[in-house]
Amino acid sequence: MELTPKQIVKELDRYIIGQQEAKIAVAIALRNRYRRSRLPEEMREEITPKNILMKGPTGVGKTEIARRLAKLVRAPFVKVEATKFTEVGYVGRDVESIIRDLVEVSIRMVKDEKFKEVMPRATEIAENKLVDIILPIRKKADTADKSDAQLKEELLSEIRAGHLDGITIEMEIKQQPKPIQLTPGNAPGNEIDLGSIFGGMMGGGRVKKRKLTVKQAMDFIVNQEAEKMVDQDSITSEALARAEQDGVVFLDEIDKVAARAGRDQGHDVSREGVQRDILPIVEGSTVQTKYGSIRTDFILFIAAGAFHMSKMEDLIPELQGRFPIRVELDNLTEEDFVKILTEPDNAVLKQYKALLGVDGVTLNFTDEAIREIARTAYFENENSENLGARRLHAVLEHLLKDILYEADDNTTKEINIDRDYVTAHLATSLRAASLKKYIL
């Protein structure tokens, strides 16, 4: 059953604090995809996604919202910075590589799913092959004069229990020819794999004996058998369809290619050129990849930027028209920082507690300490560069530096962080550093 917009927002709330307007916008866009998939084909072809343009400072959740959204529905997702691209004719990546990257992600995703389907059967074959390899060695060492069937049963249970993982065995491995990619006529997406061509002419790879542990051999044989069981053509066709119909492209730093009003026009020519190159794939075009052609009409594009040096209106009108939904994300407040530290499934404090737990250290924070950390992060963002939630990592790394450094030798297994500890460790450094910009 597909998620409703409210359920999507609820799932996003598990990882991202606040930004309800942005969450609602992406939830509606995702639900509309499902609605579109239920329509007759003639009407389905007429309905394209309503792309989203997000405005907000760094670290407030723009990328995370898009990434979690794609993960929620197992959709192919790719994040790219608009600044990596240059106008055709200049040095840099061409914008069609975005779609080729999306297809690669989709291929990998579908392949992993197909592998999981055949994994039980592949594992069974691998276990039996390993039993056949180890059996002669066991027979030599066996003094109880057991039958082959008994020994095989014993070996099988030992392999499954992992008791033989560290034992080294020798097995024959067919070496695959190394891929050599050539791109004829500078047309990306039409690569020729010379390795596979010459490998086929020579009758496949050479057989070589290698020494591996049982665990390594198990992984190798399982992957080899799984490769045989899955149909590569069906993976390719399904991956192309999924990228075309469900793909999500996150275009970050879009504000950096916006022409700035009233500025020198020299750089703006190149910026505008990048926007014009991005335009066709956002509007809908056909891109050639090495797996086949893909239409970009139904891919959801989410663009984002801080827009502190430029405005959304500085983008060329044609590009603005392709992003009808505009969302402004809020700056994080002190209260938001308290929630980010404690509430999400991947909360920052939970991560540090887990890391120190590896060394047997139990880390406890009082409510006052958490409030003081949040206040310091908010103060830093207000008085220096606004890094959003990323500021918390800098503050916590500084706060816990001594504990993280001494954890392996520390005889104290339980450490309590209170407000006084936070004040003592943060007041003299981070806050003092913020005052430097006021000193002439």
The per-residue pLDDT for range 306-352, each reduced to its tens digit, is 887 788 888 888 888 889 988 888 888 889 889 888 888 888 899 98
At residue 166, does pLDDT exceed 70? yes
**CATH number, domain at 264?**
3.40.50.300
| Residue 438 located in a structural domain | no
Contact indicator for 199, 206 with CB cutoff of 8 Å: no
- Is position 162 within any domain? yes
Please list, residue by residue across 193-205, b when 16 or more beta carbons sit within 10 angstroms of its beta carbon and e when fewer do.
eeeeeebeeeeee
DSSP state of 376: H
Give the residue among 364, 310, 334, 437 at the shortest CA–CA distance from 53.
310
Q: How far apart are CA 83 and CA 89, in angstroms?
A: 16
Judge if 132 and 205 occupy the same domain: yes
In a domain, 367, yes or no: yes
Flag whether 440 is in a domain: no
The first and second tokens of residue 411, run together, are: 């005889």
User: What type of residue sits at position 239?
Assistant: A
Query: Looking at 35-44, 135-144, 279-288, 298-307, which range is the least confident one?
Result: 135-144
Q: What is the CATH number of the domain that holds 393?
A: 1.10.8.60
Statement: residue 88 has pLDDT above 80: no
Residues 349 and 373 placed together within one structural domain of the fold: yes
Tell me: do 118 and 210 sit in the same domain.
yes
Residues 59 and 79 in one domain: yes
296's CB contacts (< 8 A; 6+ apart) are: 99, 244, 281, 282, 284, 285, 286, 287
Q: Are residues 338 and 315 in the same domain?
A: no
Q: 259 or 394: whose pLDDT is higher? A: 394
* Across 62-76, 84-98, 133-147, 230-244, least confident range: 84-98
Q: Please report how the helices 390-399 and 334-342 are oriented relative to each other, as an axis angle in degrees rounded to 10.
A: 70
What 3-state DSSP class applies to 42? helix
Out of 302, 328, 354, a domain closes at 328
CA distance 303 to 312: 11
Last residue of a domain, one of 328, 351, 378: 328
Residues of the chain with pLDDT > 90, as a percent, come to 7
- For residues 18 and 330, the answer to whether their CB atoms sit within 8 Å is yes
pLDDT at 196 over 80: no
Residue numbers of the domain that contains 31: 5-104+246-328
Whether 198 shows a pLDDT value over 80: the answer reads: no
Whether 402 and 364 share a structural domain: yes
| One domain, residues 124 and 233 | yes
Q: Is residue 437 part of a domain?
A: no
The Cα-based distances of 360 to 258, 357, 399, 437, 438 in angstroms read 51, 5, 19, 41, 44
Q: Is 404 exposed, middle or buried (0-12, 13-18, 19+ CB in 10 A)?
A: middle
| Together in a domain, 141 and 224 | yes
The pTM (predicted TM-score) of the whole model is: 0.78
Q: Are the CB atoms for 381 and 393 separated by under 8 Å?
A: no
Distance, in Å, from the CA atom of 169 to the CA atom of 234, rounded to the nearest integer, reads: 36
Q: What is the pLDDT of residue 107?
A: 93
Asked, for residue 439, whether it belongs to a domain, the answer is no
- Is pLDDT of 188 > 70? no
The verdict on 121 and 211 lying in the same domain is: yes
Q: pLDDT of 227-249, one tens digit each?
A: 888 888 899 999 999 999 888 89
Number of domains in the chain: 3
Share the mean pLDDT of the chain: 81
Within a domain: 286: yes
Buried b (16+ CB within 10 A) or exposed e, 327-344: bebeebeeebbbbbbbeb
Rounded Cα distance between 296 and 278, Å, is 12
**201: pLDDT confidence band, cut at 50, 70 and 90?**
low
| pLDDT value of residue 258 | 79
Same-domain pairing of 118 and 233: yes
The answer to whether residues 220 and 263 belong to one domain is no
Domain boundary among 328, 348, 372: 328
pLDDT band with cut points at 50, 70 and 90 for residue 280: confident
CA angle 124/125/128 to nearest 5° reads 90
Q: Are residue 264 and residue 292 in the same domain, yes or no?
A: yes
Mean pLDDT of 34-50: 87
Domain assignment of residue 154, yes or no: yes
